Amino acid sequence: MMNRDEPAKVWIRDRFETNSIVALYLRLNMSPNFGCKIAPVPMSEQINIVDLIDSYFTAYNSARLREICHLLQQKVFREGVTVGLSLSGAMTPAGFGISTLAPLIRHGFIDYIISTGANLYHDIHYGLGLSLYSGSPFTDDIKLRQSGQIRIYDIIFDYDVLLETDAFIRRLLMSESFQKRMGTAEFHHLLGKYIWETEKQLGIENSCLLATAYECGVPVYTSSPGDSSIGMNVAAVALEGSQLIIDPAIDVNETAAIAYSARETGTNVPGKSAALILGGGSPKNFLLQTQPQIHEVLGLEERGHDYFIQVTDARPDTGGLSGATPSEAVSWGKVDPHELPNTVVCYTDSTIALPLITAYVMHQCAPRPLKRLYDRRLEMVTKLKLDYLMAKAEQAKEEKSPETSLAKVLQNGHRPKQVATYPCGTPIRNGHT
């Protein structure tokens, strides 16, 4: 008599054998669309940040965040890569300048920064020992105004924090060292120097972003110098006779020179350029436009950034720059088309992503030597200028040289048609004149 469990056992055996054959077939004919198998396991109480991201960030934007961590670890935070960071959104009021960005700078992972002026302004609060507090985003703003308090979503602080910071900046701006024309890298370097000295006097243990950048020789630019309380104070002292002039052209040339020099490391390691973008807006474009400045405007070699990593909540379908994708950037010459596999966009809040990314790379990546690009600005701009002027001179020589024209006539049997060019030397195409 057959055991009543026997049919179930036979079914299980047949199903197991069939599935084994199917599994073998799939392994031998694996689709190129398959990545790692999703094999969930219960989370341990002792899980660390690396295991959390590697094992549990399996899909959607968690997977994109994992890909960012892996790309930074395996390719970007390596010898020979020059890393530019663009920073937008209210990151420093929440303390991320000190808690996450300063450690990345000290470990040599960030070589230059392009930030909104507001992030740099609110960073100074911490360097002066002023206090900001967690609060509720649903606080009555009319009552806050009446009580002399300011709100940045769920961060609340006294109005006096702004006034104290303004007074500190104003005193510095009237000093002799600021009475000249300069770019924002030099301007922020000077600010960082005095903030760093103030921190030491106040006994502040953890330096703010600007003080850390000063200490580590990391140039800090802002794409819109007038669009912050720092710029507002610069405008105010101008009414009092200050000779300080912030010159954006200096910034455009310096950042282009950094990107241009990124390919030359002075070693056998090939140089590459990486764009690490938190948020979007003007700082994102200012970082990416370094490449079109090199080839579109100056007529030098077209390359594009090698790595493009962005954390954003902006959609690409509205046409705004904040949400523009790496592939769209290829059409502008901002990103090397051959390096599209080395681009990742994660659609999430930077205040969520940045601490996770920082913890991961601090655990997984060895510190890099500081490049101290601030100290090399003149050297890099001089090289960019010489190459640009040489290219223009060569172009003019070819256009005017009778020997060249005669050689072309003898070679082709007729005088070549004069080709119109744009200022950078690129031929005018499609009948445009």
Q: How far apart are the first and last CA of the chain?
A: 96
Residue 12 · residue 19 · CB < 8 Å: no
Whether residue 46 lies inside any domain: the answer is no
Exposure string (b/e) for 76-104, b if CB count within 10 Å is 16 or more? bbbebbbbbbbbbbbbbbbbbbbebbbbb
Question: How many domains does the chain contain in total?
Answer: 1
- Mind listing the pLDDT tens digit of every residue in the chain (433 residues)? 555 556 555 544 555 555 666 565 556 566 667 777 888 889 999 999 999 999 999 999 999 999 999 999 999 999 999 999 999 999 999 999 999 999 999 999 999 999 999 999 999 999 999 999 999 999 999 999 999 999 999 999 999 999 999 999 999 999 999 999 999 999 999 999 999 999 999 999 999 999 999 999 999 999 999 999 999 999 999 999 999 999 999 999 999 999 999 988 878 888 999 999 999 889 989 999 998 899 889 988 867 889 999 999 877 777 776 776 766 777 777 777 776 777 888 999 999 999 999 999 999 999 999 999 999 999 999 999 999 999 888 877 776 765 555 555 556 655 555 545 556 556 555 655 4
| Domain CATH code at residue 366 | 3.40.910.10
**Amino acid occupying residue 395:** Q
**Catalytic residue (choose from 334, 385, 400, 417):** 334
For 208-262, what is each residue's pLDDT tens digit?
A: 999 999 999 999 999 999 999 999 999 999 999 999 999 999 999 999 999 999 9
For 164-183, what is each residue's pLDDT tens digit?
A: 999 999 999 999 999 999 99
CA–CA gap between residue 353 and residue 72 (Å, rounded): 13
- % of the chain beyond a pLDDT of 70: 83
> For position 19, what pLDDT does the model report?
62
Whether residue 300 lies inside any domain: the answer is yes
Annotated catalytic residue 334: yes
Whether residue 294 lies inside any domain: the answer is yes
Whether residue 405 lies inside any domain: the answer is no
Whether residue 108 lies inside any domain: the answer is yes
Whether residue 53 lies inside any domain: the answer is no
Q: Among positive and negative, which fits the CA dihedral 415, 421, 424, 429? A: negative
Whether residue 121 lies inside any domain: the answer is yes
Residues spanned by the domain of 362: 65-384
